[in-house]
Structure 1
Amino acid sequence: MDFASSNINKYNEINHLVSARKNSFEVTFRMMELKEIQSDSLLEVAENKVLQAFRINKKEIFVEDDGLFIEALKDFPGVYSSYVNKTIGNVGILDLLGNKVNRNASFKSIIAFHDGNKIELFTGEIKGKIGFELTTGGWGFDPIFIPENSDLTFGQMDMKTKNQISHRKVALDRFLKWYQSQG
């Protein structure tokens, strides 16, 4: 099955998750720069991306879109996470939060699949908080996001540990369960 993204890190995590499953299948990475529509909905963004990917690929394909939602910032950056990461980055997020006590956050992931006939959407979410300082490791917002029941950021975890609990794992597990049930 083909996975479309311009982010090799997403592919590596997804490939690692798929490979770890019994009776799984191979995921082929399709490097694609997909335009991200302006929307307040991750579902709409993911659906639009999978439509673009299918038009290019012309066979079944899936994409993943995600966002970091910070409670004290009224769920910012949310659907704008990629842009915010590229512009102000983790240091900018820490600056925006300053010394705020409420650092609750969640990571949300949407997997969108298109087979030419229909689009299926699968969600995953993990709650946690934003740390007070930047750690090393990981990519994206991994160095500042601490999942519930952990003292480590995603960045401080190795891929295997992160992939046991991540928002992407939850969404991918739902997708793969559905996909394998389709025969």
Structure 2
Amino acid sequence: MKQLCFATNNHKKLQEVSKMLKGSYHLLTLQDIGCQEELAEDQDTLEGNSRQKAAYVWGNYQIDCFADDTGLEVEALYGEPGVYSARYAGPQRSDTDNMQLVLQNLQGQQNRKARFRTSITLYLGGQEHQFEGIVEGQITELWNGDTSFGYDPIFIPDGYNQTFAQMSLQEKNAISHRGRAIRKLVEFLKAQ
């Protein structure tokens, strides 16, 4: 079985993606390849951040890898938090603080349209490939659910009446932004 490194330290993301790649590739973590450093995410786009992380791993460890960056883009907030989603409320990267700030900034807003967008950059044999996944939805007024991470407790995807955090991992992966991007990645890998 071929090996592929997912350039993340987020164990919940790793769990999501491992289930989707099961049987296709043996997924390695940054820890598995000896990468102890924190990967920079200082670009001004999601695509730039995913590229920066994947390029770093390929350049320093010469192992096929992919990295992702995801942002919540809220229409009434002019696309915020976007590329700053993980640190929207500050450098502490607190999911709770980030959600509270989004809800605070949306107080009194009728328009609660939002979307999650994931950009994945794959380095395979030194060649770069990018994939994107998007899911449209709404921001709730109250938190609901506790089975996930990030902004999931305040995001209801269009066509559903539950937040991502109220869904099982299997239900979420079937429709999520990351799931959509990963499926494009998997289809690409299977064609190689």
Output the TM-score relative to the length of structure 1.
0.91
Q: C-alpha displacement at 1:116, in angstroms?
A: 4.5
Q: Does structure 1 conserve the Cα–Cα contact (< 8 Å) formed by 2:58 and 2:126?
A: no
Aligned residue number for residue 156 of structure 1: 166
Question: Runs in 1 of length 4+ with deviation above 3 angstroms?
Answer: none
1-structure distance, mates of 2:24, 2:9 = 23
1-structure distance, mates of 2:24, 2:56 = 26
Which consecutive residues of structure 1, in runs of 5 or more, have no partner in the other structure? none
Aligned residues: 178
Aligned residue number for residue 24 of structure 2: 24
Aligned residue number for residue 4 of structure 1: 7
Q: C-alpha displacement at 1:56, in angstroms?
A: 3.2
Give matches, 1:1-183, under 5 Å: 1-19=4-22, 24-31=24-31, 33-39=38-44, 41-84=45-88, 86=93, 88-137=97-146, 138-182=148-192
Which consecutive residues of structure 2, in runs of 5 or more, have no partner in the other structure? none
2-structure distance, mates of 1:159, 1:99 = 32
Q: Does structure 1 conserve the Cα–Cα contact (< 8 Å) formed by 2:154 and 2:163?
A: yes
Corresponding letter in the other structure for 2:131: F
Considering only aligned residues, what root-mean-square deviation do their CA atoms show, in Å? 1.5
2-structure distance, mates of 1:108, 1:144 = 15
1:104-155: CA deviations, max 9, x gaps? 0000011111134211000000000100111231111111011011110001
**3-state secondary structure, aligned to 1:76:** coil
**3-state secondary structure, aligned to 2:7:** strand
Corresponding letter in the other structure for 2:15: N
2-structure distance, mates of 1:110, 1:28 = 19
